[in-house]
Structure 1
Amino acid sequence: MTITLYHNPACGTSRNTLAMIRASGEEPVVVDYLQAGWSAERLQSLAAQMGAPIRSLIRDKGTPARALGLFDEEADDPTIIAAMIAHPVIVNRPIVVSDKGVRLCRPSELVLELLSEPVARFTKEDGEAVGA
């Protein structure tokens, strides 16, 4: 199975997601999107594959999204996408792409639904146990 993780290494949820993927025996393609950036096509494709509007990928905490007016009703998709390209941190994370689908994995254990052999039990960085 090919798995791609759009990852922010400074994010605990993203790190936990990466660790769960690896604990399940997979080695994902890791895209540090803060370094790599985004294209309009990639953002639109990911949102479409999730069956979600582009605005569902906006991250508020620690980003300029609110100051840029991205939560206003008037903010249309092209405006949101342009802001995400200019400020990659606005895109919520982690986003995982696998043969089983595409999903924003918040909370991180949502990644387990995208893995062929998910780990049965996992302890997150903060000590929270996931699984049976």
Structure 2
Amino acid sequence: MPAADRRFGELSGGQQRRALIARALVAEPRLLLLDEPTAGLDPAAQARFYDMCCTLQRTEGLTLIAASHDVDVVARHADTVLLVDRTLRALGRPGEVLQSSQLDRVYDFPHGHVHPTDPGGQGSR
């Protein structure tokens, strides 16, 4: 049975997440606040989600604020990063904020150095 024909409770976790995101987008918001928006999504669905967000930002002026622990995703897609550990630790471009020393202090273990390929994201580790 197609997902569209099933009740919400019968959907997988990833399908439920996509349905909730779609529901939020139907209202054509100017600002979208999300907590770990791609949790439970497979890698292909994660890529589609972030591609869609970039398109909506460009074409509709959507502002997306998302909480994420995935440093690689943040480096690739964020324009601005807030590094928070009970209080604001850093604010700026991904290449400025996602430095090993800052992440080490917040996460209390060594991280690889993150190198965005451009100032707005699209980076790699």
Shared fold by TM > 0.5?
no
Q: Quick check: which has more Rg, 1 or 2?
A: 2
What's the TM-score, normalizing by structure 2?
0.25
| Structure with more helix by fraction | 2
| Structure with more strand by fraction | 2
Query: Which fold has the larger relative contact order, with Cα–Cα distance below 8 Å and residues 6 or more apart in sequence?
Result: 1
What's the TM-score, normalizing by structure 1?
0.24
